[in-house]
Amino acid sequence: MELPEELLRKAAAGLSRGSILFWRGYPFRDGTVGDKMVLLLSECVEDRCYVVVLPTSQIQHYVTGRREMVDTVCFPKGESSWFEKDTVVDLKRYDEVSVEDLAPHFVSGAAKKIGELDGTDMTKIIEVVKNAETLSPRVQKHILGDD
């Protein structure tokens, strides 16, 4: 089903790089769903996709070596007003979400913007993106706004 242009614009209004969403029923790649905080890493440009990542406080996966610390940003408890626990933003585990996929969740109330990362937090992420080993040049450019 194609959504009206006005609805798409309304869903994207106020969303930008650094926006934080709370999304009830976020669709994971494995087909399961869960309530998650979602961080927008990019603006929405012509291709109408946001690059998003799910911050996680499950740092044991990184400390024990099950997941590599390459292209990750760590926020120790209390460093960011958004992360009450030690939190990892793993850029290797990004996803791309189109406005068309996001809009119905905003309309239903399942997804809503809850705030923005502050400039210091976003700068910390951008520095890792600039030197990323695992992100494709296309995704890097999209996050950095060079596309």
Instruction: Please write the tens of the pLDDT for every residue from 15-46.
Output: 889 999 999 999 888 889 999 999 999 988 76
Position 135: which residue type? L
| Residue among 60, 22, 19, 56 at smallest CA distance from 40 | 19
Rounded to whole angstroms, the Cα distance separating 140 from 91 reads: 10
Joined together, the tokens standing for residue 56 give 């996680």
Lowest-confidence range among 27-36, 44-53, 76-85?
44-53
Rounded to whole angstroms, the Cα distance separating 110 from 89 reads: 22
- In this predicted model, which residue has the larger pLDDT, 102 or 48? 102
Average pLDDT of 66-75?
83
Considering the chain, what percentage of its residues have pLDDT values greater than 70?
86
Which residues lie below 8 Å from residue 69, measured CB to CB, with a gap of 6+?
62
Q: What is the mean pLDDT of the chain?
A: 87
Position 147: which residue type? D
